């Protein structure tokens, strides 16, 4: 599994198969992240709202200490919760997530669309977080196609993905077309 297919957007290579930590209690998250990395996963996904970022970071450190991976082998994604979409709140949460993880995340996503504060303020803050080195890449989660396109038009940096529910029983033809038109990608959170 270590020879995974990947996609390259904005100059960074993102493994296509990721291990998600939603609904994992901290002790389970630590153990399962370390095991996922041992068996070959190279993309780990978490979020502030999952309340397990510190344990996810510990699991990554455990896998590094065991010699299964280096930090450079792991693509780490986390998400900013909607209550922190104002400029100060977003930057604060991005810093807190990095501290909890013990690593700078590779990808920072806006967890859900929210019109207030304005998209302009939120996307500006997300771009600022990237410029401050709080993440390598930025993107979205759960955004419909029109809001995805609008967000990209407001972002100075490429939004590398929109993480959404996607599986054989849920066709997202418009959203996939929007991602392609924007030179972005879709990440499925529910295969």
The number of beta carbons lying within 10 Å of the beta carbon of residue 51 is 14
**What is the pLDDT, as a whole number, of residue 40?**
96
Class at the top of the CATH hierarchy for domain 6-188: alpha beta
Q: Which residues pair with 13 in a beta bridge?
A: 8
pTM over 0.85: yes
Beta-carbon-side half-sphere exposure of residue 7 (alpha carbons within 13 Å):
14
| 48-69 average pLDDT score | 98
Residue 173 predicted with pLDDT over 80: yes
**In the chain, where are the structural domains located?**
6-188
Q: Angle CA(48)–CA(61)–CA(29) in degrees, nearest 5?
A: 45
d(CA 141, CA 146): 13
Query: Tell me, what's the pLDDT at 190?
Result: 76
Residue 170 CB-density burial (10 A; 0-12 exposed, 13-18 middle, 19+ buried): exposed
pLDDT band of 171, cuts 50, 70, 90: confident
* Across 116-129, average pLDDT: 96
Q: Is 169 a catalytic residue?
A: no
**Which residue among the candidates 41, 50, 166, 169 is catalytic per the annotation?**
50
Mean pLDDT along residues 37-54: 97
pLDDT digits (tens, 9 = 90+) for 93-111: 999 999 999 999 999 999 9
For the segment 7-23, the average pLDDT, to the nearest whole number, is 93
């Amino acid at each position: 599994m270590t020879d995974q297919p990947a996609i390259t957007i904005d100059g960074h290579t993102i493994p296509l198969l990721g291990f998600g930590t939603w609904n994992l209690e901290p002790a389970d998250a630590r153990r399962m992240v370390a095991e996922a990395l041992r068996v070959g996963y190279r993309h780990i996904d978490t979020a502030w709202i999952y309340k397990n970022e510190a344990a996810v970071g510990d699991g990554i450190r455990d896998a590094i200490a065991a010699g299964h991976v280096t930090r450079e082998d792991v693509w780490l994604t986390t998400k900013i919760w909607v209550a922190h979409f104002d400029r100060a709140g977003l930057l604060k949460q991005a810093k807190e997530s990095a501290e909890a993880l013990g690593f700078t995340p590779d990808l920072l996503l806006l967890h859900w669309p929210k019109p207030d504060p304005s998209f302009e303020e939120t996307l500006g803050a997300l771009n600022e977080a990237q410029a401050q080195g709080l993440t390598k890449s930025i993107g979205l989660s759960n955004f419909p196609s029109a809001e995805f396109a609008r967000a990209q038009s407001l972002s100075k940096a490429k939004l590398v993905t929109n993480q959404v529910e996607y599986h054989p029983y849920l066709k997202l033809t418009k959203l996939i077309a929007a991602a392609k038109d924007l030179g972005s990608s879709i990440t499925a959170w529910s295969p």
